Structure 1
Amino acid sequence: MAISIITKEDLQEFKTELLESIEKLLQGNTSEQKLWLRTSEVKELLHVSSGTLQNMRINGTLSYSKVGGMLYYNYKDIQKLMMDFKRSPIINTHGKDER
């Protein structure tokens, strides 16, 4: 069995290659995101029921487009909605998250 010695330089090169690979994967995922989502995809993404999603359409919380009887939602609108409702953790005196 042959013994290989790994140097600090080898580890640094591996780290650099690994980080570059991870960056490429992350960039690839964002570009693959569909711009328009169907109702079922939005319900899954937001973890809401059909009724809740209908209420969001009715009260104008989430805009949509209707084409040939199908409803489509813009992914950017969903992202904005999620950011608008993003909450900061409330920490009590015991250091526990009280959301």
Structure 2
Amino acid sequence: MTKCFSGKVAVITGAARGIGDAIAARFLEEGARVFSFDLGEPDEPRQGVTYLKADVADPESVAEAFAHIDRDAGQIDVLVNNAGVQRVALAEKMSPADWH
């Protein structure tokens, strides 16, 4: 059976647990090389996933993680933005800076 993502590189934010972990598992099943960004360590690391500690709310942290992937894999074919950044405020009261 042909795997849909064979030879592809997938990056999934927030993949140390929960929905992100399930997404990573599915990409692995379909043949992708998988990188995970997360603040924490996975509860149960998956064989085949490269876990990178990165804070998606910190542009420098994200740049470092992408530089690592570029050095290691040389490409990114799929990006799944699964990580959440929580701000406690009404959307209309948030400034543009709150969204970054």
TM-score calculated relative to the size of structure 1 = 0.19
Bigger share in helix: 1
Structure of higher RCO (CA pairs closer than 8 Å, 6+ residues apart): 2
TM-score calculated relative to the size of structure 2 = 0.19
User: Which structure has the larger Rg over C-alpha atoms?
Assistant: 1
